[in-house]
């Protein structure tokens, strides 16, 4: 009876925490703290469901045990997939550092466990300490990426939609004045949003300056595409000076407020970039929600890894706070190792 009460209390606590998360998410999803709540909440919920099914379904516990045994194989497959994606990015997009992140991550998946085993094999206090550091750093980094990936997926699948006054379409590189497939995905998403709301009729704000290898400002090229797709000229406001995401938002907001002093902006970018754009808009104090257009599947792993690094840089205080439990655990392990005489 006591065990049943404990289980019921656990389920009740999970229900309350999910209600808090949904309430806060609907209020404003542009907070990385919600990602820090969602990730452990999802893990605890999965654990609770697995425990329940293990009790109710004969053989389910054995199935979970098989999955646990196969975990090393899953890690190997994951590392191999990252390496394959990195090679594909290299061949299709060039050997820039930003395109090789998935390749580097895949190589580390194989190198770090081998390095940890070698360090433990030396059997000294400092190699044990270094192995602990590698282990805790790897667990924290993997947890951080998983947290951001989960929240980015939720952010994309369940946008907290409000009425908007303008769709601000963030620019990307153009070729000879033509939009690329990546940029077309953003523009098509903006057109979809434009069609979804009749009142007020959305202003369309293509934003982006001219790069050194571009024929004209990105905003100009994007506006041409919008006109070709039937968007009225009167609804298009071209922003052609911005060089980065912050300027995209700042300059576009200034343009929109000349026509619409009040109301939310709908920020439209690629799916992998939507979360960072939303976080940036909140830091700038803008009334905004972000939406992501489709991106080629092969492009997402490296692009998402790059976004995670950028988000960690922009949200450094929160990342340090999240790292504290891992740092405490690491300090404790090193202390125990030294007390044990290693």
Secondary structure of 273-300 in HEC code, one letter for each residue: CHHHHHHHHHHCCCCEEEEEECCCHHHH
Among candidates 255, 244, 233, 183, which has minimal Cα distance to 209?
244
| Rounded average pLDDT over 45-69 | 81
Q: Map residue 266 onto helix, strand or coil.
A: strand
HSE-CB for 170 with a 13 A CA cutoff: 28
Tell me the pLDDT tens digit for each residue of 140-165: 888 999 999 999 999 988 887 788 99
Residue 66: which H helix or E strand, with range?
A: helix 60-69
Average pLDDT over all residues of the chain:
88
Architecture of domain 162-295: 3-Layer(aba) Sandwich (3.40)
pLDDT band at 19 (very low <50, low <70, confident <90, very high): very high
pLDDT for 341: 59
Q: What is the pTM for the complete model shown?
A: 0.86
User: Over 90: is that where the pLDDT of 213 sits?
Assistant: no
**β-strand pairing of 264-270 with 164-170:** parallel
User: Over 60: is that where the pLDDT of 342 sits?
Assistant: no
pLDDT band at 34 (very low <50, low <70, confident <90, very high): very high
User: Over 80: is that where the pLDDT of 265 sits?
Assistant: yes
User: For the chain, which residues make up each domain, given as ranges?
Assistant: 2-69, 71-156+316-339, 162-295
Rg (CA), the chain: 24
Tell me the pLDDT tens digit for each residue of 97-122: 778 888 889 899 889 888 888 888 88
Percent of the chain predicted with pLDDT > 90: 44
């Amino acid at each position: 009876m006591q065990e049943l009460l404990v289980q019921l209390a656990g389920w009740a606590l999970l229900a309350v925490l999910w209600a808090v998360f949904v309430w806060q998410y609907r209020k404003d999803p542009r907070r990385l703290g919600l990602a820090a709540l969602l990730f452990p909440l999802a893990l605890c919920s999965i654990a609770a469901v697995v425990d329940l099914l293990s009790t109710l379904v004969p053989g389910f516990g054995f199935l979970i045990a098989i999955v646990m045994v196969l975990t090393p194989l899953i890690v190997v497959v994951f590392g191999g997939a990252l390496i394959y994606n990195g090679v594909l990015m290299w061949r299709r997009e060039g050997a820039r550092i930003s395109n090789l992140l998935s390749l580097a991550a895949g190589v580390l998946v194989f190198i770090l466990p081998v390095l940890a085993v070698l360090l433990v094999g030396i059997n000294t206090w400092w190699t044990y300490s270094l192995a602990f550091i590698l282990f805790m750093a790897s667990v924290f980094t993997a947890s951080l990426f998983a947290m951001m990936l989960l929240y980015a997926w939720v952010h994309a699948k369940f946008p907290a939609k409000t009425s908007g006054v303008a769709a601000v379409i963030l620019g990307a590189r153009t070729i000879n004045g033509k939009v690329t497939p990546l940029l077309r995905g953003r523009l098509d998403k903006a057109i979809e949003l434009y069609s979804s709301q009749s009142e007020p009729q959305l202003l369309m704000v293509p934003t982006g300056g001219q790069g050194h290898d571009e024929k004209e400002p990105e905003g100009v090229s994007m506006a041409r595409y919008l006109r070709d797709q039937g968007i009225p000229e009167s609804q298009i406001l071209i922003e052609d000076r911005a060089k980065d995401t912050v300027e995209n938002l700042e300059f576009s907001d200034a343009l929109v407020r000349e026509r619409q002093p009040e109301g939310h902006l709908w920020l439209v970018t690629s799916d992998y970039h939507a979360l960072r754009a939303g976080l940036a808009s909140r830091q700038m104090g803008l009334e905004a929600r972000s939406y992501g257009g489709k991106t080629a599947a092969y492009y997402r792993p490296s692009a998402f890894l790059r976004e995670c690094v950028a988000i960690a840089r922009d949200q450094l205080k929160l990342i340090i706070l999240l790292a504290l439990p891992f740092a405490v655990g690491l300090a404790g392990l090193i202390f125990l190792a030294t007390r044990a005489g290693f």
